[in-house]
Amino acid sequence: MRSLDDSLPLKLLKAREAVMDQFRPRLHAHGVTEQQWRVLRALNEHKEMDAGALSKRVAILMPSLSRILNDLEKRGLLKKERSSVDKRLLNTRIRPKGRALVKQIAPHSETQYNRIEQALGKDTYRMLMSELDNVIRILNTNKKCAPE
């Protein structure tokens, strides 16, 4: 068995935590969790999404996403409604209050991205993003890596 120092899932978790430590304080200061922030960002970018597509876009499982959507709707940050075409689909869209919150947090978020890019170096940052995209693409399409 590989040592924990060579555990890819553990290294990815540690890297995620190191990155999120840069963003969490500002999100929490605005009363937003990182998962809620991902939802608000996605809806701010895409205007409206059905819950299934949103779940995939922000990497949050549907049961958790349902709770997040309910909370954000209660706070007036987004609107949920059943599709008029297919009642099984739950459409979500960001509301003006949600857009205002994104607009308020976004400059800090961009500053943190710039600091991370500076710390890593632009070339390393771009390479890291590209390699992570490759890992995601390969492991999602190459079923030979899937458990038997």
State the pLDDT at residue 146: 57
Q: Is the entire prediction scored with pTM above 0.75?
A: yes
CA-CA distance, 30 to 14, in Å (whole number)? 24
4-33 pLDDT tens trace = 989 999 999 999 999 999 999 999 999 999
CA-CA distance, 59 to 39, in Å (whole number)? 10
Torsional class of 121: left (φ above 0), alpha (ψ -120 to 50), beta (otherwise):
left
What average pLDDT score do residues 39-61 get? 94
CA-CA distance, 33 to 79, in Å (whole number)? 18
Cβ atoms of 12 and 87 closer than 8 Å:
no
State the pLDDT at residue 144: 62
